[in-house]
Chain A
């Protein structure tokens, strides 16, 4: 949990400068959260992995999320113990090192290690900067600053795929997404150097729940491995699921048992007794999974069947990403106006589910018909999906934060991010494996024509290409429909569990 310090020293520093610098670092790291979704294909090619072995791209995405999840819950306490700015600088340096490994990777293993380090470094920045902002401003002035820091993080992650797509499509190539992080991080650390060296930053001994963090990370890592379909031709999940999944569950059970006894637990497991809390946590995770599916599969679909390059697929995704902040603002306003979290959250998730169902009906000609002016029906469907995913953010977050005590809001806010990322990690892992498994099942007997001594080769090849595209569409239809069903389940959970807004009162 993040507790602000009352440091005379920190109050005397140039607060806007310090926040701008650390905010810039946070923005840099948040850009990289989903930056790879529009660069996956060239990334795979440069580590000599064939496009028909796309399952090997899964760890490039899950590695980052896992690193982020491993570090984020303990970074707040680490910054209590070692100093906010130092932890910030150390993690930014680690993030830059991860970027170096990613950009220079000759092999998939180094690429995934680089992404894991990037996630670990980047994940720690969020609580460190939030805690620093809380230190720098007194309670009454704090919320706009905390809001600005959170907004920076969200804007960064929304712009990431566009940034990634543009750099990848440029003559520089995808590696520059990551090379550029190194001088930027170095510049920020250089500017912060007097603060880092000052040794006057206040620190205090904090009890850190290492065991809880280790248990949760081990459980998540095992679950990710269990769900990773390394050979989707044979199985939609990993070969080791038989022992990895039970071991993961065992880790989670021990985690809950340990957290109930720990003096300073990572999360307060008693919260889960409150159905409004459990319901909003689950809804949040489902929405995270939905967002991740859209983030990964819309660019891949754009590339594989609409033959778009990285910037084209990024621009397609922007239609959806635009809907998210608009939906988020609208959701907050609507929840307040209607004085109901459950209606707005359920409405958002239903809209997102409808969006996914509409997307699942796409065919090769879906991007062509124009609706109004330059806008197509597909643009509207993408925007609707984003709008729905945005609408649920404010009511679900508020319901969760209302359910935790006033003193535990910081930990509750971290838990919100954690659950969203867990949803992304687990949802995406499941969808990736089952989607590819379905593709292989659909094409198991589709033999490609061979050119030699084949007078009808051109016609046969055209027919074959059509069949492959159809199988790719079938795979996406399955993925998007499954996501729509999951979102509808989320809507039902939200409708059944979320409590109404608390009566406004000052504390």
Chain B
């Protein structure tokens, strides 16, 4: 058998290198990443979140941003509301079935269910069925992009589409019509979700808005206790 010529050896070597590289750990596809990350986020003992709404929000949507710690359904957050062009910060605590509010002045007061529905039911954001993490599984046409750094972590962005009624469950002020563009930045293999973004004509049929969620302190235990009233 004739010995392989040097060029052939080089080609064979290169082929081996390429094959080996290709056999390295590959991140799962978009759908799998979304499913695994959804499971991971729903099972966390606690996390820190930040939510920011930008773009056209109209007059009916007072919430501009929120940040706090959650162990759904319990959470403790500071919420920025826009009222007549000025921002106001309020603090909310959701503990079991009770909701507490600390507003511009005075101490904590407990809200009734009707008042909560009128205000901002932050529990829905991370609800086991209606919330964002559950919505990850309902995202259609997932497409995984190249690795990106988010808050110092290597993540894979997964783009997809969320139907209006599904997003409406998260924040009832969002329009039920149409579909919205969603992107999730997921770390692999930990499956931690670091950022999620929903874009589209969320609050008005012709004007765009964006909601961005940032997560950190994954699985750091969070325990929320009811505040002293008054």
What residues of chain A have their CB less than 8 Å away from a CB belonging to chain B?
Answer: 41, 44-45, 48-53, 443-448, 450-453, 468, 471
Contact = CB atoms under 8 A, between A and B. Distances in A.
Contacts of A53: 89
A50 B64 CA distance: 10
Contacts of A50: 80-81, 87-89
A452 B104 contact: no
Closest 3 CB pairs of A and B: A50-B89, A443-B105, A447-B106
B13 interface: no
Contacts of B118: 451-452
Interface in B145-202: none
Interface of B: 52, 64-65, 80-81, 85-89, 101, 103-107, 109, 111-112, 114-115, 117-118, 230
A444 B87 contact: no
A429 B65 CA distance: 29
Given A45-B87, A49-B87, A450 B111 contact: yes
A453 B118 CA distance: 10
Chain A interface helix/strand/loop/mixed: loop
A447 B65 CA distance: 23
A500 to B, nearest CB: 53
A48 B64 contact: yes
A50 B67 CA distance: 13
B89 A446 contact: no
A149 B230 CA distance: 57
A458 to B, nearest CB: 16
Contacts of B85: 45
Contacts of A444: 105-107
16 contacts: A45-B87, A48-B52, A48-B87, A50-B89, A51-B86, A52-B104, A443-B106, A445-B106, A445-B230, A446-B105, A446-B106, A447-B106, A448-B106, A452-B112, A452-B118, A453-B115
B105 A48 contact: no
A450 B115 contact: yes
B84 to A, nearest CB: 11
B115 A51 contact: no
Contacts of B117: 452
A447 B87 CA distance: 19
B88 A52 contact: yes
B87 A468 contact: no
A453 B105 contact: no
A45 B64 CA distance: 11
Contact of B86 (A45, A447, A452): A45
Contacts of A448: 103-106
A207 B230 CA distance: 62
A48 B103 contact: no
B50 to A, nearest CB: 11
B173 to A, nearest CB: 16
Most buried by B among A41, A48, A53, A447: A447
Contact of A447 (B89, B109, B115): B109
A51 B88 contact: yes
Contacts of A468: 104-105
A51 B88 CA distance: 6
A312 B171 CA distance: 39
A471 B105 CA distance: 10
A44 B87 CA distance: 9
Contacts of B112: 452-453
Contact of A52 (B89, B115, B230): B89
A446 B107 CA distance: 8
Contacts of B101: 450
B106 to A, nearest CB: 4
A50 B81 CA distance: 8
A231 to B, nearest CB: 13
B142 to A, nearest CB: 30
Contacts of A445: 106-107, 230
Contacts of B81: 50
Nearest to A443: B105
A50 B85 CA distance: 11
A52 B81 CA distance: 11
B127 to A, nearest CB: 21
Given A48-B87, A50-B87, A452 B107 contact: no
A410 B111 CA distance: 65
Contact of B105 (A44, A447, A450, A452): A447
A313 to B, nearest CB: 15
Given A452-B118, A453-B114, A453-B115, A51 B87 contact: yes
A50 B65 CA distance: 11
Contacts of A447: 103, 105-107, 109
Nearest to B117: A452
Contacts of B88: 50-52
Contacts of B87: 44-45, 48-51
Most buried by B among A45, A444, A452: A452
A448 B108 CA distance: 10
Contacts of A44: 87
Nearest to B64: A48
Contacts of B230: 445
Most buried by A among B86, B105, B230: B105
A264 to B, nearest CB: 47
Nearest to A44: B87
Contacts of B115: 450-453
A25 B71 CA distance: 55
Contacts of A41: 86
A439 to B, nearest CB: 9
Given A45-B85, A51-B86, A447-B105, 9 more contacts: A51-B88, A52-B104, A443-B105, A443-B106, A444-B106, A444-B107, A448-B106, A452-B118, A453-B115
A443 B106 CA distance: 6
A105 to B, nearest CB: 16
A377 B26 CA distance: 77
Nearest to B85: A45
A52 B86 CA distance: 10
